[in-house]
Copies of this chain bind each other. A is one copy, B any other.
Amino acid sequence: MLSFENDYSEGCHPRILEALTRTNLEQLPGYGTDHYCAEAAEKIKAACQAPQAQVFFITGGTQTNQLAIDLLLHPTEGVVAAETGHVNTHEAGAIEYTGHKVMPLPAHNGKLQAQDLADLLHTFWDDASCEHMVAPGMVYLSHPTEYGTLYTKQELADISAVCRRYRIPLYLDGARLAYGLGAPGTDLTLPEIAQLCDVLYIGGTKVGALCGEALVFCQQPPARMAARIKQHGALNAKGRLLGIQFDVLFTDGLYFHLGRHAVELAMEMKWRFLAKGYRLWMDSPTNQQFILLEDAEAERLAKLVRYSRWEKPDAAHTVVRFATSWATTPEMLDELDRLLVAQN
């Protein structure tokens, strides 16, 4: 059945399989010390224009968030996030498992606002009993957000400025970063992100890799990183699997190309929904499109195409998500188009 269920339904971009096959019998040292990891790291640093950065490859997104946040926080600190942030909602308590509180702020179209953050920090440090409270020790944001929305350069700069005023690190979850960088109208580039944030991760799993996220410390990471990663159960014997994939993704701009491809098709998809009179739940410029369906229509479509149910805003409607990916083709959109019926 036709599927727009998510952006990780297929395996990986063919060039990755080719590279894995080509390099398969090379004997390489383990635990991320091979030359593919080193080369991939160099390419990522170049793409970030951050020669001083350090890059670590981790298998999955929740693991990367769990690790990064645990690395960045002191014991009595928590991580500030939008209440809709992935770490607050859909990671089964992976952050709390490491002993840290997720401190939610209101989400504005899925995004944190600098003013809310500044207020939180001001109120906290002004509180006479702040030593009895969890200190806001870092900021987490996802770009694109869980609703496909994007920070503008100004918004991210404002948040970054607040973080630097209070000397707490800003961490960006880029599980779908390519789809943000490739969005129409975005004014944020990867080097700018690397400059405004202290740590970020560049997502591979949802952008054409079999698995893998690149965790980028824009400045110095903590001591004994290999031990920290291993203690989290996140150090792979065959680190090559991640290094080779990111080497491919960051060769000839493939990562950025995959992002643009998916977003172009998503914009076309959005246009087709709108042309048939469907309503958007949130206007996303990225690869995830959120549509507000009457329940009957949601049922009808569910028999014809796979999508994700997102939420129930009221008794009669359902918000659903249709996602494109590096593997989506124009033909799939045509097929979808034939399944849509004019709404009134």
Contacts A96-B96, A131-B230, A227-B135 hold; do A60 and B236 have CB atoms under 8 A apart?
Answer: yes
Set of chain B residues within 8 Å of A128, measured between Cβ atoms: 309
What per-residue 1/0 map shows which CB atoms of A281-306 lie under 8 Å from chain B? 00000000000000000000000001
In the complex, what distance in Å separates the CA atom of A70 from the CA atom of B96? 13
Chain B residue with Cβ nearest A233 = B63
Contacts A27-B10, A63-B233 hold; do A93 and B102 have CB atoms under 8 A apart?
Answer: no
In the complex, what distance in Å separates the CA atom of A134 from the CA atom of B96? 10
What per-residue 1/0 map shows which CB atoms of A25-47 lie under 8 Å from chain B? 11111110000000000000000
Q: Within the complex, which residue of B75, B94, B99, B132 is in contact with A233, where a contact is CB–CB below 8 Å? A: B94
Instruction: List 4 additional A-B contacts (Cβ < 8 Å) besides A10-B28, A20-B210, A93-B99.
Output: A10-B27, A92-B235, A93-B100, A211-B211
Q: List 26 A-B contacts (CB under 8 A).
A: A3-B27, A10-B27, A11-B241, A14-B24, A17-B17, A17-B20, A27-B306, A59-B59, A70-B75, A74-B223, A74-B224, A75-B231, A76-B224, A76-B227, A90-B129, A91-B132, A91-B230, A92-B230, A94-B232, A96-B100, A99-B99, A131-B227, A131-B230, A132-B235, A206-B237, A232-B233
- 8 nearest A-B residue pairs (beta carbon): A63-B233, A11-B24, A131-B226, A92-B230, A9-B27, A76-B227, A93-B134, A96-B101
